[in-house]
Amino acid sequence: MLDKLEAIKVRWEEVERELSSPGVMSDMKRFAQLNKEYKDLTRIVEEYKIYRNMVSNIEANKQILATEKDEELREMAKMDLDELLEKKELKEEEIRVMLIPQDPEDAKNAIVEIRGGTGGDEAALFAGDLYRMYSRFCERKGWKIQVMDVTEGTSGGYKEVVFEVQGEDAYGQLKYESGVHRVQRVPDTETQGRVHTSAASVVVLPEADEFDVEINMNDIRKDLFCSSGPGGQSVNTTYSAVRLTHIPTGIVAQCQDEKSQLKNFDKALSVLRSRIYELELAKRNAETASKRKTMVSSGDRSAKIRTYNYPQGRVTEHRIGLTIYNLPDVMNGNIQEVIDALQLAENAEKMKEGTVA
Mean pLDDT of 191-213: 84
pLDDT digits (tens, 9 = 90+) for 83-104: 999 999 999 888 887 887 777 7
pLDDT (tens digit per residue) in 90-148: 998 888 878 877 777 888 899 999 999 877 889 999 999 999 999 999 999 999 999 98
Boundary of a domain, candidates 98, 124, 151: 98
Indicate whether 105 belongs to any domain: no
Residues 312 and 192 placed together within one structural domain of the fold = yes
Is pLDDT at 299 greater than 50 in this prediction?
no
- CA 132 → CA 70, 102, 127, 304, 348, distances in Å? 66, 29, 9, 20, 31
Specify the pLDDT at position 284: 62
120 and 45 fall within a common domain: no
C-alpha–C-alpha distance, residues 338 and 351, integer Å: 20
Q: Are residues 117 and 69 in the same domain?
A: no
Q: Are residues 27 and 129 in the same domain?
A: no
Identify the bridge partners of residue 147 per DSSP, sorted by sequence position: 163
What SS3 string covers 110-127?
Answer: EEEEEEECCCCHHHHHHH
Q: How confident is the model at residue 285, as a pLDDT?
A: 64
Residue 356 included in any domain = no
Round to whole Å and give the CA distance between 320 and 324: 12
Task: Let me know if residue 177 belongs to a domain.
Answer: yes
Range of the domain at 73: 2-98
Position 191 scores a pLDDT of 66
Q: How far apart are CA 125 and CA 154, in angstroms?
A: 9
The number of C-alpha atoms within 13 Å of 155 and in the hemisphere containing its C-beta is: 12
Answer yes or no: do 263 and 323 share one domain. yes
Q: Are 160 and 113 in contact (CB under 8 A)?
A: yes
The predicted model gives 295-315 an average pLDDT of: 78
Whole-number Cα distances in Å, 164 to 203, 215, 350: 12, 20, 29
Q: Within 10 Å of residue 249's Cβ, how many Cβ atoms?
A: 12
Is 74 found in the same domain as 126? no
Rounded CA-CA distance 177/172 in Å is: 10
Report yes or no on 125 lying in a domain. Answer: yes
Assigned domain for 311 exists:
yes
In a domain, 39, yes or no: yes
Question: How confident is the model over 33-45, as pLDDT tens digits?
Answer: 888 889 889 989 9
For 332-347, what is each residue's pLDDT tens digit?
Answer: 999 999 999 998 888 8
Whether residue 231 has pLDDT greater than 70: no
Residue 30's pLDDT band, with cuts at 50, 70 and 90, is confident
The H or E element containing residue 206 is strand 196-206
Give me the chain's average pLDDT, please: 85
Statement to judge: residues 58 and 197 lie in one domain: no
Same domain, 199 and 325: yes
Residues 233, 117 share a domain: yes
Domain boundary among 32, 64, 98: 98
Domain assignment present for 219: yes
Q: How much is the pLDDT for 15?
A: 93
Over 80: is that where the pLDDT of 165 sits? yes
CATH of the domain at 26: 1.20.58
Largest alpha-carbon pair distance within the chain?
92
CATH number of the domain at 206, please: 3.30.70.1660
158 and 89 inside one domain: no
37 and 118 inside one domain: no
**Local structure of 11: helix, strand or coil:** helix
- Of 70, 98, 126, the last residue of a domain is 98
Q: Is residue 314 one of the residues assigned to a domain?
A: yes
pLDDT above 80 (res 82): yes
Q: How far apart are alpha carbons 47 and 87 in whole angstroms?
A: 13
Query: Are both 120 and 88 inside the same structural domain?
Result: no
Query: Distance (Å, rounded) from C-alpha 329 to C-alpha 133?
Result: 9
Domain count, the chain: 2
